[in-house]
Structure formats: structure tokens, C-alpha cells
Amino acid sequence: MIGHVSTTPVQELPRRRLSTKRSLTVDRLTDAAVDELHATGYSGLTVRAVAARCGVAPATAYNYFSSKEHLIAEVFWRRISAQDEAAPQGPAGLDTAAGLYTAAGRATEVLANFALVVSNETELAAACTVALLVDNPEVHELRLKIGRLLHTRLVAALAGPDDGAAAPPAAVRTLEFVVSGALIEVGTGHLPYDQLRNQLAEATSVILGDPVIVKRTP
């Protein structure tokens, strides 16, 4: 679901390099896409309908987005890239007492931030699951961008400010597979969002051999 990091540079498509004015148009289109999705559902979502809601010509919308999958994948990318992922400082839900905020704890938080980014929008979460899996050049590019961002955050989390050790490449790659699977599980309704953090913590502990203590909600 998420593209894995490659050593081959990926060239951005021309339409992704935007002036300020065009960037604002894309902002409006992605906002309108979410509103239209909530109004009609994913099956009823079309680029033309989003253009109408946004007040632009269909040709303008298609100049930026080739399909509804491209639109929704862009929404997911924007939500993920907007997250503040500066060095974690003891996230909510993880017990940081007595030095328990370990590399596994930091990695769990990175994974949870990715998987829970649209957790309060059920329709959008399901749409992202479908959209990110399609065979589409623009969506493929976004999957790679999302994968590179996840990789960067995991490497930083596993190395940590105090651990002084490089992140094991095999562990990073395995954790990337974990979050891809988690996104599919919650997006298809097979795993409730309220169980996701615990499941990610358990998986991370198994992979890293490092305990993660998750606070239980009263």
C-alpha cells in the first residue's frame, strides 16, 4: 500500500511543481474532495463533481488530478506530511515513566500517527485504502513519497536522540510492512481504530525485542 524506499531517484511529474496560485487551487480541490466524499460517498465521488463544488471548470480539475483516486491519495499525503514529526517527546498513550519511552515506543508512535491520521473520518479512511492501491502513475508517485516520509521518520525514531545506534535496515523495512497492513486492516473495517495503537505496539515489540507500555484508557 505504501511505496518502499528505493535507491533510484524518482522524478516528480510536471503537474506537481506548482506556483502559489496553482497551489491554492489544489488546496481548494482537495478540500472540496473531502466535502464531496462525505456528501456522496466514495462510489459517487467524481472529479467533475469536485470541480463543481470547488467552482472551477472540470478541465481545470483534471489538469491537476487525473482521477478520484489521485485526489484522495493527495488528501492522504497532505494529512501525513502536515503532521509535526519533530523528535518525539513522549506521545499520549505511551507510558514514559521510568525511561519506558524506548526506540520501540518512538517507532510505535510513528506508525500510529500514520495509521490514525484519518481515523476520525471513516469515509475518508476507507477511501484512502482503496485509492492508494490503484495502478495509476500519479498515485504511484504519491505512494513513493509517503513511503520515503515514513522511512525517514522510522529511521529517526529508531536511532533516537540518546540511543546513538543506527536503525537496523531490516527492522525499518519490516515496520513499513506493518503499517501498510494496519492501514488496510482499519480501512476495510477488520480492525477497530481504538485497538490499533495496542496492535502496533505489540508488533513493534516483537520486531525490535523492546517493550512498549501502552496506557490503558479508563
The answer to the question of residue 174 being in a domain is yes
pLDDT bucket at 216, cuts 50 / 70 / 90: very low
Tell whether 2 is covered by a domain. Answer: no
pLDDT for residue 141: 95
Looking at the DSSP assignment, which residues form a beta bridge with residue 115? none
- Summarised one tens digit per residue, pLDDT across range 79-96 is 999 986 444 444 444 444
- Specify the number of domains making up the chain: 1
111 located within any domain = yes
> Do the domain assignments include residue 9?
no
In this predicted structure, what is the pLDDT of residue 65? 96
pLDDT at 211: 66
pLDDT of 212? 61
The answer to the question of residue 216 being in a domain is: no
Task: Report the mean per-residue pLDDT for the chain.
Answer: 82
For the chain, what percent of residues have pLDDT higher than 70? 77
Domain of 56 in residue numbering reads as 14-208
- Scanning 83-168, the segments in alpha helix (DSSP H) are 103-115, 122-131, 137-159
Q: Is residue 163 part of a domain?
A: yes
CA dihedral 185, 2, 121, 214 (to 10 degrees): 60
**pLDDT tens across 44-74, in order?**
999 999 999 999 999 999 999 999 999 999 9
Q: For position 183, which CATH number holds?
A: 1.10.357.10
